[in-house]
Amino acid sequence: MIEAINISKSLGNLKVLDNISVKFDPGKTNLIIGQSGSGKTVFLKCLIGLFDPDEGSVMYDDVVFNKLPFKAKKKIRQKVGMMFQGGALFDSATVIENIMYPLDMFTQLSFQEKKERARFCLDRVDIKDAGHLFSAEISGGMQKRVALARAIALNPDYLFCDEPNSGLDPKTAILIDALIKEITEEFNMTTVVNTHDMNSVMEIGEKVVFIYQGRKLWEGSNKDILDSSNEELNQFVFANNLAKQLKKMNSDI
Amino acid sequence: MNIIYQIGKYFILLSKVFAKPEKQSVYYKQIVKEIHSLGLNSIGIVIIISAFMGAVITLQTAYNMENPLLPLYLIGLGCRDSMILEFSSTMIALILAGKVGSSIASELGTMRVTEQIDALEIMGVNSASYLILPKIIAAVFFNPILTTISIIVGVFGGWVAVLATGVVSSEYFIIGIQYAFIPFYITYAMVKTVFFAFIITSVSSFHGYFVKGGSIEVGKASTKAVVYSSIVILLFNVILTQLLLS
Ligand SMILES: Nc1ncnc2c1ncn2[C@@H]1O[C@H](COP(=O)(O)OP(=O)(O)OP(=O)(O)O)[C@@H](O)[C@H]1O
Ligand SMILES: [Mg+2]
């Protein structure tokens, strides 16, 4: 179980995160939503320890993760998979080598076993045939899939995804979302996904946390989100005209 | 103030670099890779530069020896000792700082701005050690070989210049390169080479590893890597010379 307790973080003179507390549902797909620049990435990076929060604690089960020494953090991190906003694939390695990398580093498997595991992960994200290509040779959508495959290579307990479907066409975006949800359920992971895509929210948001200018303004499930009376959340959710009219129709009935 | 801060940061990075490796077999692979990209790939440029430098040193020594009382074997001796003492260690190190240093800084810088280093950290890998240690080890072990190649090729280049121009007879040149040989000069050159190899790889890695921002900063970091490693090399050249030859 992951929990953030009163997290605050300033970068430069800007208070990026202001006293955020969230308890993430274990075994589910948790979504963090908010506008561009609201602090989602910084929050996620605090959760996994790429940023140190100025105040507050990040709990993994019963341990205060952000107070642990480097070595103990490493132990927990091996149970964490992360999919970065830009993919962060190793560009000096092929797709299959990228996925095998965590296995190389942290398992005693034979080369053949590692390869098999990597193939399995590639297959799981539907790009079996791209294994021999370098990351510069595959499309953005494929890079996201490879990043996801690499993140799940070690069968992590926790999966973090930073905007897994930004910059993708709607169809591929839905596919990736569905994939994340499926994988979360299949392997019983606790997944945290950053997104500003309302489609994802409606499709996979079992638990949704809304961040606005570094503060948590709302949390609930995707079923409650349309009925919320929170002003900022409504502005975010019903940003486009079509959605606004739907909302109006909904309240007229 | 800032310079003290940077130096402190450099040493903290080094302490992370020399932490115990997670998995040695993976490191061996990396070292082999780095020997290839930092060492073997530099042999060509070392050979070309050393050959021409050896030739020029020989010709300059020859044309500057107008006094007939000076023995002619001094030409070969001058070529040999300049190569060993200064050229093959310091000059080659400066050239490698340009070639290897900028490539290290831009490689690490790009990995930083595209979050590849963060990805390593998240997996629980000590990214500083994994990325930098193999480079340092590869250079510290391989650069002495480059220096040796440079000395041999430089003297050979001098000999070819002698044959081509006839400034002195080939026999005298060959007597010269054997005359009054001081083995300690080789030790001196190798000690310098090892220090310089460490400086080039660690200083350049430092500049690449801590890049913030985007591609412009990566470019700046690679320039800084070259400038600072060169300055530190020149500084240590003086210090080591005083320590070893005085
Ligand atoms: N390394 C940094 N140094 C200084 N400020 C930063 C840094 N990273 C982020 N910020 C600032 O923190 C704020 C939140 O950024 P963050 O990247 O978390 O936004 P986000 O919600 O992920 O946006 P997006 O949806 O566009 O990815 C921004 O105002 C940004 O300028
Ligand atoms: Mg972001």
Strand ranges inside chain A, DSSP E: 2-11, 14-23, 29-33, 55-60, 63-64, 80-83, 158-162, 190-195, 207-212, 215-220
* Ligand 1: residue whose CA is nearest its atom 19: A37
> Interface pTM (ipTM) of the complex?
0.86
Whether A174 maps to a domain, the answer reads yes
Is the dihedral angle over the CA atoms B190, B195, B201, B207 positive or is it negative?
negative
| Contact in structure between B61 and B173 (CB atoms under 8 Å) | no
- Return mean pLDDT, chain A: 87
Chain B interface test: which of A46, A58, A92, A192 (most B C-beta within 10 Å): A92
Question: For residue B110, how far is its CA from the centre of ligand 1 (angstroms)?
Answer: 19
Domain of residue B77, residue span = 22-245
| Contact in structure between B115 and B138 (CB atoms under 8 Å) | no
Sorted by sequence, the CB contacts under 8 Å of residue B165 that are 6+ apart come out as: B59
| Cα A228 from Cα B197, distance rounded (Å) | 63
Tokens in use for B64?
């500057």
Whether A89 maps to a domain, the answer reads yes
- Helix ranges (H only) for B65-126 are 74-82, 92-96, 102-113, 116-123
Cα B138 from chain centre: 12
Pairing mode of beta strands A14-23, A2-11? antiparallel
> From edge to edge, which strands make up the β-sheet containing A2-11?
A14-23, A2-11, A55-60, A63-64
* A36 ligand 1 Cβ < 6 A: yes
Give me the phi and psi of A69, to 5 degrees please. Answer: -70, 160
| Cα A53 from Cα B120, distance rounded (Å) | 20
Whether B38 maps to a domain, the answer reads yes
Query: Which residues have CB atoms below 5 A from the ion given as ligand 2?
Result: A 41
pTM over 0.90? The answer is no
> Residue B238 burial by CB count (10 A; 0-12/13-18/19+): exposed, middle or buried?
exposed
| Cα B207 from Cα B226, distance rounded (Å) | 10
Whether B1 maps to a domain, the answer reads no
Sorted by sequence, the CB contacts under 8 Å of residue A105 that are 6+ apart come out as: B22, B23, B26, B123, B124, B125
Give me the phi and psi of A8, to 5 degrees please. Answer: -130, 145
pLDDT tens across A35-90, in order? 888 999 999 999 998 899 999 999 998 899 988 888 888 888 888 999 998 889 99
Whether B214 maps to a domain, the answer reads yes
CATH for A71? 3.40.50.300
Tell me how long chain A is.
253
- Average pLDDT over every residue of A21-35: 91
Whether B7 maps to a domain, the answer reads no
Domain of residue A24, residue span = 2-221
A90 touches chain B (CB under 8 A): yes
| Cα B18 from Cα B213, distance rounded (Å) | 27
Q: What percent of chain A has pLDDT over 70?
A: 97
Q: What does the radius of gyration of chain B's CA atoms come to, in whole angstroms?
A: 21
Confidence of residue A128 (pLDDT cuts 50, 70, 90): confident
Would you write out chain B's pLDDT as a tens digit for each of its 246 residues? 788 999 999 999 999 999 887 788 888 999 999 999 999 999 999 999 999 999 999 999 988 887 878 888 888 899 999 999 999 999 999 999 999 999 999 999 999 999 999 999 888 889 999 999 999 999 999 999 999 999 999 999 999 999 999 888 888 888 888 888 899 999 999 999 999 999 999 999 999 999 999 999 999 999 999 999 999 999 999 999 999 988
Sorted by sequence, the CB contacts under 8 Å of residue B156 that are 6+ apart come out as: B51, B54
| Contact in structure between B139 and B42 (CB atoms under 8 Å) | no
> From edge to edge, which strands make up the β-sheet containing A207-212?
A80-83, A158-162, A190-195, A29-33, A207-212, A215-220
Sorted by sequence, the CB contacts under 8 Å of residue A119 that are 6+ apart come out as: A96, A128, A131
| Contact in structure between B37 and B141 (CB atoms under 8 Å) | no
Whether A77 maps to a domain, the answer reads yes
Whether A14 maps to a domain, the answer reads yes
- Average pLDDT over every residue of A100-104: 90
Whether A250 maps to a domain, the answer reads no
Whether A237 maps to a domain, the answer reads no
What is the number of domains present in chain A?
1
A109 touches chain B (CB under 8 A): no
Q: In this complex, which of B26, B118, B121 lies closest to A105 when CB atoms are compared?
A: B26
Residue A172: the pLDDT is 80
Q: In this complex, which of A75, A77, A91 lies closest to B123 when CB atoms are compared?
A: A77
* A124 ligand 1 Cβ < 6 A: no
Going by C-alpha positions, the residue among A147, A90, A51 that lies closest to residue B112 is A90
* A117 ligand 1 Cβ < 6 A: no
Whether residue A243 is predicted with pLDDT greater than 70 in this model: the reply is no
Sorted by sequence, the CB contacts under 8 Å of residue A152 that are 6+ apart come out as: A81, A121, A124, A159, A183, A187
Alpha carbons within 13 angstroms on the beta-carbon side of residue B126 total 23
What is the number of domains present in chain B?
1
Whether A231 maps to a domain, the answer reads no
* Ligand 1: residue whose CA is nearest its atom 9: A42
Pairing mode of beta strands A190-195, A158-162? parallel
pLDDT tens across A164-223, in order? 888 778 888 888 888 899 889 988 999 999 988 888 888 888 899 999 998 998 888 888
